[in-house]
Amino acid sequence: MKIQRKSIKQNLLGILAAGAIALGANSARAQTPVTNLEMTVTNDCSIEWVWGTNYQVNARSSDETRGYVGGDTNNWIEDGSNATVSASAANEDYIFSGWTGDTNASESTLNILVDKPYTNLVAKFSDNKTNGGVVTNGVPFRWFTQYGLTNKTASGELEDSDGDGMKNWQEYIAGTDPTNSASYFWFAEFVWESAPGHNETGTYYTTEQDFIDYGIPTNTQIPFTNYVMDHASSRLLVVPDSLTNRDYGVDSSSDLVSGIWNKETNSSGNGGTLIFDMIDDTEKAKFYKVNVKE
């Protein structure tokens, strides 16, 4: 017999009998719990049902591709007993980063005194990264693995594996292929000049030549706006393949000598063509650069 709730259950551990009773052919006292008892009652006696409480212990990984859990998980554990649950990364690309849910412990192995249900033990795993040194915040090991690169160290992120002028850590941030020299971070520029006193707006659709020159898909819609002012032009800076988990920004400078750059605008990547519409309202030269960060 057992009585069970969602994460707690009562198990019948046995029966205690006391008094003058006959157990089979002999008169005796039942000293320890039993679950089956045959007896002949000869006078007043007491019978006690002995119950025990069990609690459920459940643990899981936040991402089974990154790591797994083991030990006393998905089990019923007797009240007051100890349960051991452990978490391990799936491979060197990931590391255990703590528990959440019923505990915030940082140890990968939990030794729990079970006095209540533990049904929400969640092991977290994060990217294992290069230490980054003083140059970067580190590159995930899984990124090196993805491209077949084996030097998963700070020196490895400073290598230029495909000889395109971009170091591996820069290729990671830009979302480009470190093994393909034709894959690197770039942007296209389109400029419309407005005649003095005219207001021009419209939409430009990229042509086949644009695709050939810049690698932008044919007939990509690019809106532009020119305001009513002398010497105005609309300068569109186009990032053709932005990433949704990256931030992009535009800086400007009046010269390429001083090293002074001013932030113009920024935007999160949208997974496709990202367009920055820069309005030049003076006759002064202005230089732009587009940057990307994680």
pLDDT in tens, 241-259: 899 999 999 998 888 888 8
Say which residue, 159 or 233, is predicted with more confidence: 159
Tokens describing residue 93: 């690309």
pLDDT in tens, 31-41: 455 556 666 77
Q: Is residue 147 located within the same domain as residue 177?
A: yes
Indicate the pLDDT class of residue 284, thresholds 50, 70 and 90: low
- 274 near 246, Cβ under 8 Å? no
Q: Is residue 49 located within the same domain as residue 90?
A: no
Number of domains in the chain: 4
pLDDT in tens, 61-83: 999 999 999 999 988 898 999 99
Q: Is residue 254 located within the same domain as residue 287?
A: yes
Residue 78 located in a structural domain? no
> For residue 108, which phi and psi values (nearest 5 degrees)?
-75, -25
Residue 173 located in a structural domain? yes
Q: Is residue 212 located within the same domain as residue 251?
A: yes
Tokens describing residue 177: 């292929």
Q: Is residue 218 located within the same domain as residue 266?
A: yes
Residue 251 located in a structural domain? yes
Q: Is residue 201 located within the same domain as residue 214?
A: yes
Residue 225 located in a structural domain? yes
The domain boundary, picked from 111, 127, 143, lies at 127
Residue 144 located in a structural domain? yes
The domain boundary, picked from 184, 201, 231, lies at 184
Q: Is residue 145 located within the same domain as residue 205?
A: no
- In three-state secondary structure terms, 168 is helix
Q: Is residue 288 located within the same domain as residue 260?
A: yes
Rounded CA-CA distance 148/161 in Å is: 11
pLDDT in tens, 261-277: 999 999 999 988 888 87
Rounded CA-CA distance 108/232 in Å is: 61
pTM (predicted TM-score): 0.67
> For residue 67, which phi and psi values (nearest 5 degrees)?
-175, 175
Has residue 193 got a pLDDT over 90?
no
- Containing structural domain, residue 172: 129-184
Q: Is residue 64 located within the same domain as residue 160?
A: no
Rounded CA-CA distance 87/172 in Å is: 29
Whole-number pLDDT of residue 276: 84
Q: Is residue 203 located within the same domain as residue 244?
A: yes
Residue 108 located in a structural domain? yes
CA atoms within 13 A on the CB side of 209: 0
Q: Is residue 232 located within the same domain as residue 287?
A: yes
Q: Is residue 286 located within the same domain as residue 198?
A: yes
